[in-house]
Structure 1
């Protein structure tokens, strides 16, 4: 499969793999503790001692970025799994059962999708705080309707195919139809949509953190790192540029990898 990847797709997978590895092992390989002040000088430039400079308190930015990766990637990944998983299950149920079930699910999620995402996020954070579980659940709920629409449209299309009609005529149950006939034929596009949900959630959470409503001190994600080092923007300090570059590189890497995640499966591979 690697030989068939385009250079852009391979680059995207490498970037994505790097940041996932940093989310898991970043805290262990970071040269300093996240909150340790390593120098009395603030906003130091890139150097051999501090590869990404220092922040507004004199902390090592490389360590801060590596420690923050687990919150940016981890929270977004958890929320994307909730959104795509819920959307996939509800979409297949609506497609297979149809009728009142389809109508009830669709109208309920249409109501949710009509609420602007940032407004919904602000209300949830104001009501329940901005703990990591709340952020994960909030972002997952916001992006479930979009994932549902994609999954439902794909499942409805496959459900109308002849091989599904034949399976239903020979007496196969709903669980079999979903597991063996519909899911294998929509998994590629669903994975591609999962990548898009992940990017949307990264950007939403970064925006929330930039407003001070995301991950709270002493922890910090990349959006928080940009916000707290804004004083160094006028002198182009690495402390404010590097977290922004990390966000950009992750989103670009995921977008480049989406074609790979969406490939490798063929539509209509039914019996």
Structure 2
């Protein structure tokens, strides 16, 4: 066979090999996201129903995660609480990352006074300790779900802004952006077609990290009694209300803490392996 014929043979396709830890993290995240929507449907009992006269019972076939300090099924309580832990944190993360992305790209492309004013204002906001700011907001406006979402979103907007602005400034200096400007493309086109697509990976990674931070912040507020209020409960509230069973190692206090840990670990594993997913996906194309 001639060299010309050999050159026409396409290279063998490589099999896609997804990162194992990334798949594990993705499975954990998908599971908890599904429970945020379906937890109330698959829970064996109502969240507030007392199902056993004994309190802090160990794990049994009837109650796989034991019972709490009132004799309620902990599996049902955790599944019902997922919508508050995951839902509130996800809404706050979307608010923080979305606001930071929009403001960061505006500052990077407009420059001048726009950049200066936005950067100084958000730097001032980021100088305040996050938990102290949240405590002040909750004390002033009460502890409702909208207030928690707004407070957490405002707290983490400056960090998202700095990441987005840094990425946008770097990309705006690239040759292909200069070429787009030279041929007369407007700012909206450059943001949509040139800058934003090249920011997707880092912005998604930052979104995941910000989600973890907000989960821990909201769980901490709930543990202090300033988060989601009864009769509703998130995982932080479940740890606080069952803290009396810690001395005897009751599952009622350990399982909500393990749920928080599993969610944060799963998100971190997924974030750490995002690059592996994209790289291996490109090789198999």
Q: Which of 91, 113, 125 is residue 138 of structure 2 equivalent to?
A: 125
When residues 262 and 200 of structure 1 are mapped into structure 2, their CA distance, relative to the original with a 3 A threshold, is: farther
What's the counterpart of residue 4 of structure 2? none
What's the counterpart of residue 43 of structure 1? 56
Structure 2 residue runs of 5 or longer lacking an equivalent are 1-14, 280-285
SS at match of 1:235: coil
What's the counterpart of residue 203 of structure 1? 216
Deviations 1:123-156 (A, max 9, x none): 0000001100110011000000000000100000
Equivalent residues in 2 for 1:106-185 (5 A)? 106-185=119-198
SS at match of 2:57: coil
Q: Answer whether contact 2:19 2:277 (CA < 8 A) is retained.
A: no
What's the counterpart of residue 252 of structure 1? 265
Query: Are 2:259 and 1:226 aligned?
Result: no
Look at both structures and tell me which one has the larger radius of gyration over its CA atoms: 2
Once the two structures are TM-superposed, the CA of residue 6 in structure 1 deviates from its matched residue by: 1.0
SS at match of 1:71: helix
When residues 262 and 199 of structure 1 are mapped into structure 2, their CA distance, relative to the original with a 3 A threshold, is: farther
What's the counterpart of residue 103 of structure 2? 90
Q: Answer whether contact 2:22 2:274 (CA < 8 A) is retained.
A: no
Q: Counterparts of 1:187 and 1:140 in 2: how far apart (Å)?
A: 20
SS at match of 2:226: coil
Q: Counterparts of 1:41 and 1:246 in 2: how far apart (Å)?
A: 23
Once the two structures are TM-superposed, the CA of residue 4 in structure 1 deviates from its matched residue by: 3.2
Q: Counterparts of 2:231 and 2:150 in 1: how far apart (Å)?
A: 21
Structure 1 residue runs of 5 or longer lacking an equivalent are 267-271
Once the two structures are TM-superposed, the CA of residue 263 in structure 1 deviates from its matched residue by: 5.9
> What is the alpha-carbon root mean square deviation over aligned residues?
1.2
SS at match of 2:192: helix
Once the two structures are TM-superposed, the CA of residue 261 in structure 1 deviates from its matched residue by: 4.1
Q: Answer whether contact 1:188 1:263 (CA < 8 A) is retained.
A: no
What's the counterpart of residue 104 of structure 1? 117
Once the two structures are TM-superposed, the CA of residue 260 in structure 1 deviates from its matched residue by: 4.1
Once the two structures are TM-superposed, the CA of residue 101 in structure 1 deviates from its matched residue by: 0.6
SS at match of 2:246: helix
Q: Counterparts of 1:66 and 1:261 in 2: how far apart (Å)?
A: 28
Q: Counterparts of 1:212 and 1:35 in 2: how far apart (Å)?
A: 18
Deviations 1:152-186 (A, max 9, x none): 00000000000000101111001001000000001
Q: Counterparts of 1:74 and 1:263 in 2: how far apart (Å)?
A: 28
Deviations 1:95-121 (A, max 9, x none): 111111100110010010011100100
Q: TM-score, normalised by structure 1?
A: 0.96
